Amino acid sequence: MRPFLLAVLLTLLVAPAAGAAAPDAAAPDRPAIQSETTLTGTVSYLNGTAVPNATVLVGSEARLANASESELHELAADPPDNVVTATTNESGGYEMTVGSGVNAETVVAVAADGASRPRNYVAGELDLTIRTTTALSFESPTVPAEPGGRAEIPFTLEHTGEQAVEGLSLSLTTPQGWNFVSASSETGTFHEDNRTFTWGTVEPGETVEASFRIFVAIGSINDSAQTYELTTFSGSDTHPVTSSAKVRVRYPTEATQTEIPGFGLPAALVALTGLAGAALARRD
């Protein structure tokens, strides 16, 4: 019995080891890594407009995933051996062959006015979207105001880029104790529920404007003037947009003597005439 039990135990111990070795024996039968793949697709802006002459790059994640736009332009102009590129046609389409020497992990597109977000490489078809980097700004002057008075804050944005702006918006938040009065614009639509202006498509060269009217809190300043930087929110679906607004609050300028009743210009002329008459009388 003892030899029989020993044989059974040895069988149980040896069998798993043999099973574990089986995958290694099968390793030579694994399919080889594909030596060449293809990728096709289109490159467009967020509004769907095709982007001609954009460059699509495929390479390692380490090289492309965190590359700046300027670095992507450098790679597109002179790609190294481990990066493959393709240029889009007039319809924004591209087609590329990725060889075995390329560590194909990341795909990204770069154009004259922006770049796409990095995407994981998967052979087949992939559409990329260019996000423009030409920053636009709502300009607004520093507006003078008085405690307890009303101030009108105008904004103007001139579209100096080359791609149409989509989804443009602007809103303003007043400081505590201040109140919103009204808003107006000849080019935008104002939404009362969230006090936000929105615009349709803004073509290159166009200018949009908007104005907020607010009530300045009576206790906004103590003895000296103060400049408030109001909180604004602006953005679009296609371009980065910045905005700012400042209101300088001060008490009314003290009245001069010529503004005080009895000391204005007519009274001063009468006084001077009287003095001149008295002087002549003394000479006589």
- Per-residue pLDDT of 21-52, as tens digits, reads 444 444 443 333 457 999 999 999 887 889 99
- Per-residue pLDDT of 120-135, as tens digits, reads 999 999 999 998 888 8
pLDDT at 6 > cutoff 70 = no
Asked if domains 37-132 and 136-249 share a fold, the reply is: yes
Q: Please, what is the average pLDDT of the chain?
A: 84
Q: Are 168 and 241 in contact (CB under 8 A)?
A: yes
- Per-residue pLDDT of 150-198, as tens digits, reads 999 999 999 988 888 999 999 999 999 999 999 999 999 999 999 999 9
Give which of 156, 111, 148 is closest to 131, Cα–Cα: 111
Taking domain 136-249, whether its CATH number is 1.10.10.10 is answered by no
Give which of 62, 57, 102 is closest to 76, Cα–Cα: 57
Output the pLDDT for position 222. 87
Q: Find the range with the poorest average confidence among 33-42, 102-111, 202-211.
A: 33-42
List the domain boundaries for the chain.
Answer: 37-132, 136-249
Q: Are 82 and 102 in contact (CB under 8 A)?
A: yes
- Per-residue pLDDT of 68-99, as tens digits, reads 999 999 999 999 989 999 999 999 999 999 99
Q: Find the range with the poorest average confidence among 88-92, 144-148, 261-265.
A: 261-265
Taking domain 37-132, whether its CATH number is 2.60.40.1120 is answered by yes
Output the pLDDT for position 48. 86
Q: How many CB atoms lie within 10 A of CB 262?
A: 8
